[in-house]
């Protein structure tokens, strides 16, 4: 449960915040361990959202995890004890109560004798990626925590930069779609109805195209709120089905992977992520079977997840990763990827090969996305221009018929 407290630090500064504890006595022990003299301590009342479970534990922001990892690596290399390093970081986030509680909980769990990976797994303020926890767990056993934290920070930062580039790249196409929808909606609800009165005074039969556009305009002008509501409901239902129905999600994602350009982007992106995470895990000393399982769990596509899970099972039975992935029944992976894995296994340089493949696929994905966007923009313009052209043509046809007659 969550507790709210107010009090004084050992140096005399006032403090207030929240902490997670299973009981009031445990909350008091946590405050004492942090050197806080509390003046009030009580259970936090749950909001309506929390009561019904609308919002659960959110994933930790990538930028925050990168900053924490890099700062911890610097402190540990300088010889600062882990608990002291977390305390120094906690002071930097006093203006962010949730993050401050995150550090306070970690410090308390460490004081209880838990390792950093166990503390991160035990807290329920932020959801930590499984591959991150697995990598830390292996590095703690081998005494290379600072080096691994630095590598994790670099990997997460690169992934965040790629996501930011993709977001910027889709801004312009998204703007085109939004403007086109507003333009067509304005024409159907404002322009076309005004021309309808003019056509009624002509007293002649309208062309089929004009009648169709007028009928759709009348329907859209009356029903657009219901259409918008229905569209929103369909999106929510689709999102819920993708989240809660694994079979439905598998079929949808398999269909997307079969598309010519979009499928290539999805597969290349996931292969780049798998190679980067697997290389990091194996170099951290994690056994290859566990490394493949953890890296496969980070993939976005359930189809590719199933393929790599199958590969990990075959390794346990004595098979090779490249052979297992090539014989998987879920999807045909890139042949160059399978071949490179086979070379890495034969030369015992699998981590190095995976790292090289990660860089290769990241660069290839940028090129593929650039090609996709270069094709998408003119296609959107053509579609929008075609729709507007049909509406304008439908409105001009009666006028041309009248003038020719």
With pLDDT > 70 as the criterion, what percentage of the chain qualifies?
A: 91
Q: Can you give the pLDDT at residue 52? A: 40
Structural domains of the chain, count: 3
Residues 34 and 180 both lie in one domain: no
pLDDT band at 45 (very low <50, low <70, confident <90, very high): low
Domain span including residue 44: 2-51
Look at residue 164 and tell me if it is in a domain. Answer: no
**Do residue 133 and residue 265 come from a single domain?**
no
What is the residue-averaged pLDDT of the chain? 82
193/331 same-domain check: yes
* 120 and 242 together in one domain: no
Q: Are residues 274 and 382 in the same domain?
A: yes
List strand residue ranges (DSSP E) for 98-166, in order. 126-127
Single out the residue of 328, 183, 305 nearest to residue 246, CA to CA.
Answer: 305
Residue 161 inside a domain? The answer is: no
266 shares a domain with 187:
yes
Tokens representing 15? Answer: 């403090």
* Whether residues 44 and 64 fall in one domain: no
pLDDT at 71: 92
Confidence at 259, pLDDT banded by 50, 70, 90: confident
- pLDDT above 90 as % of the chain: 6
Give the long-range contacts of residues 340-347, CB within 8 A, separation 24 or more.
Answer: 345/320, 345/321
pLDDT tens profile 191-218? 888 777 777 776 677 788 888 888 888 8
Residues 68, 91, single domain; the answer is: yes
How does pLDDT run across 165-180, given as a tens digit for each residue?
777 777 888 888 888 8
Total Cβ atoms within 10 A of residue 13: 8
Residue 269: partners with Cβ closer than 8 Å, 6 or more residues away = 300, 361, 365
Confidence check: pLDDT of 309 > 80: yes
Same domain, 246 and 383: yes
Sort 394 into a burial class: Cβ within 10 Å, 0-12 / 13-18 / 19+: buried
pLDDT reading at 117 higher than 70:
yes
Residues 41 and 67 in one domain: no
Question: Please, how many CA atoms are within 13 Å of residue 361, restricted to the half-sphere of its CB?
Answer: 25
Which of 27, 51, 75 is the last residue in one of the domains?
51
pTM for this model (two decimals) = 0.68
Domain-located, residue 245: yes
Would you give the DSSP letter of residue 267? H
Q: 50-56 long-range CB contacts below 8 Å, 24 or more apart? A: none
User: Is residue 152 in some structural domain?
Assistant: no
By three-state DSSP, how is residue 1 classified? coil
pLDDT of res. 93: 87
Considering the domain boundaries, does residue 384 fall inside one?
yes
- The reply to whether 29 and 73 lie within a common domain is no
CA distance linking residue 290 with residue 287, whole number of Å: 6
**Interior angle at CA 264, CA 262 and CA 266, nearest 5:** 70
Does some domain include residue 308? yes
Average pLDDT over residues 35-62: 64
- Shared domain for 31 and 109, answered yes or no, is no
- Contact by Cβ (8 Å): 135, 293: no
């Amino acid at each position: 449960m969550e507790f709210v407290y107010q009090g004084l630090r050992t140096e005399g500064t006032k403090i207030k915040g929240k902490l997670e504890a299973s009981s009031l006595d445990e909350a008091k022990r946590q405050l004492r361990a942090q050197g806080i003299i509390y003046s009030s301590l009580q259970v936090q009342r749950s909001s309506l959202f929390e009561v019904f479970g609308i919002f659960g534990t959110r994933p930790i922001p990538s930028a925050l995890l990168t900053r924490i990892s890099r700062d911890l690596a610097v402190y540990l290399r300088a010889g600062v004890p882990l608990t002291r390093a977390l305390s120094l970081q906690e002071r930097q986030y006093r203006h962010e109560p949730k993050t401050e509680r995150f550090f306070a909980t970690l410090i308390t769990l460490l004081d209880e004798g838990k390792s950093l990976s166990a503390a991160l797994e035990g807290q329920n303020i932020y959801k930590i990626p499984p591959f991150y926890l697995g990598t830390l767990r292996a590095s703690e056993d081998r005494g290379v925590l600072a080096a691994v934290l630095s590598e994790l920070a670099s990997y997460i930062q690169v992934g965040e930069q790629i996501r930011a580039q993709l977001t910027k790249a889709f801004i312009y196409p998204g703007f085109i779609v939004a403007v086109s929808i507003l333009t067509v909606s304005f024409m159907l609800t404002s322009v076309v109805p005004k021309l309808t009165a003019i056509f009624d005074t002509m007293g002649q039969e309208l062309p089929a195209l004009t009648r169709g556009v007028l009928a759709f305009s009348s329907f859209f002008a009356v029903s657009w709120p219901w259409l918008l509501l229905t569209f929103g409901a369909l999106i929510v239902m689709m999102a819920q089905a993708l989240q809660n129905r694994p079979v439905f999600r598998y079929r949808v994602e398999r269909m997307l992977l079969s598309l010519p350009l979009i499928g290539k982007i999805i597969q290349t992106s996931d292969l780049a992520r798998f190679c980067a995470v697997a290389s990091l895990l194996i170099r951290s000393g994690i056994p290859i079977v566990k490394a493949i399982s953890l890296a496969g769990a980070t993939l976005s596509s359930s189809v590719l997840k199933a393929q790599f899970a199958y590969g990990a099972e075959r390794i346990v039975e004595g098979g090779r990763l490249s052979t297992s992935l090539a014989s998987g029944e879920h999807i045909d992976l890139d042949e160059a990827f399978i071949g490179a894995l086979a070379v890495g296994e034969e030369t015992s340089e699998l981590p190095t090969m995976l790292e090289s493949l990660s860089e290769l696929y990241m660069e290839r994905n940028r090129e593929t996305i650039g090609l996709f966007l270069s094709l998408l923009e003119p296609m959107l313009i053509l579609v929008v221009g075609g729709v507007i052209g049909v509406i304008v043509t439908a409105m001009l046809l009666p006028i041309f018929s009248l003038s020719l007659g």
